[in-house]
Structure 1
Amino acid sequence: MRDIPVNLGGYKLTVVEPPAPKTRDDGNGGLVPVTDQQGVTQFVVALFAKLRVGPGEKAPKGEEIKVTLASDPGEGFTEDVKVELIDARLNPYQIDNGAGRVTSGVAFKAMGLKAVHVRGDKS
């Protein structure tokens, strides 16, 4: 299964590392931008995700996630900005290194980011 829709509305998402063009190793020690099938540069943003809880409840420990964005989200997404993901999706993956070690996980992606202004948020 690919591009599984995911609802992260129950989480506070805070920018940890601002969006930047996604790159990969070119095999010669350099980096090249990652593009989609139409040649559009992909971006990546690191977010801290923490569960929203009700009054008097203690939130469990949060987690940092990296999200691939389909295009440049624009200006204003600096560190500590609260955001929502537009059309968030996840893709499970499994990589076998050929030496008996298998790594599994999920990769997040979204069409873009939207800034959220929360009153009285003390995250």
Structure 2
Amino acid sequence: MKDIPFVSSGYRFMVTEAPTMKMREKGGEMVPAADREGRVPFVVMLFAKPRPVAGQRPGKGEEIKVTVASEPGEEIEEGSYVELINPVLNTWQTTNDEGRITGSGLWFKAEAVKLAGQGGLSSAA
């Protein structure tokens, strides 16, 4: 399965590093990682912390990397709280010659990020 939509409203997202253009190695040097249409996505590092739920212990959260299809605005900087626009997740796995799974994981994508409004629930345009 590919590009599985998920509801991200149960989390607060804080930018932990300034967004960067997605790069890949080609011919021994790093070049922008353009898609088939020639667009270069960006990478945004976020700390994803679960929102408090009454009667439950608060979650710890973790850092995630999100590939964003469009360039984040200058207002998206380290320490900003953001919302993900149309977030999706994808899975990956690697296998050895015998067909055994040797690694697996998730990666996140979104069309865009925008500044979160008061409490991270609404957007600031």
Q: TM-score, normalised by structure 1?
A: 0.86
Secondary structure of the structure 1 residue equivalent to 2:31 = strand
Aligned twin of 1:79: 78
1:43 partner letter: F
Shift of 1:80: 1.1
Please list the CA deviations of residues 57-115 of structure 1 after superposition, one character each: whole Å capped at 9, or x if unmatched. 54121110000011212211111111010010011101236697711011100000010
After TM superposition, the structure 1 = structure 2 runs for residues 26-105 of structure 1, keeping only pairs within 5 Å, are: 26-28=26-28, 30-54=29-53, 58-96=57-95, 102-105=102-105
C-alpha distance in structure 2 between counterparts of 1:32 and 1:85, whole Å: 26
Secondary structure of the structure 2 residue equivalent to 1:73 = coil
C-alpha distance in structure 1 between counterparts of 2:21 and 2:69, whole Å: 10
2:22 partner letter: K
The 4+ residue runs of structure 1 with deviation greater than 4 A are 97-101
C-alpha distance in structure 1 between counterparts of 2:58 and 2:118, whole Å: 17
Give the 3 Å change call, closer, same or farther, for CA 101–4 of structure 1 in structure 2. Answer: closer
C-alpha distance in structure 1 between counterparts of 2:89 and 2:25, whole Å: 23
Q: Matched residues, percent identical?
A: 45
Aligned length: 118
Aligned twin of 1:16: 16
Unmatched 5+ residue regions in structure 1?
A: none
Secondary structure of the structure 2 residue equivalent to 1:93 = strand
2:44 partner letter: V
Please list the CA deviations of residues 14-51 of structure 1 after superposition, one character each: whole Å capped at 9, or x if unmatched. 000121100011141x1011111100011000000010
Shift of 1:117: 2.7
Check the 8 A contact 2:24/2:31 in 1, yes or no.
Answer: yes
Check the 8 A contact 1:50/1:59 in 2, yes or no.
Answer: no
C-alpha distance in structure 1 between counterparts of 2:115 and 2:23, whole Å: 24
Aligned twin of 2:113: 113
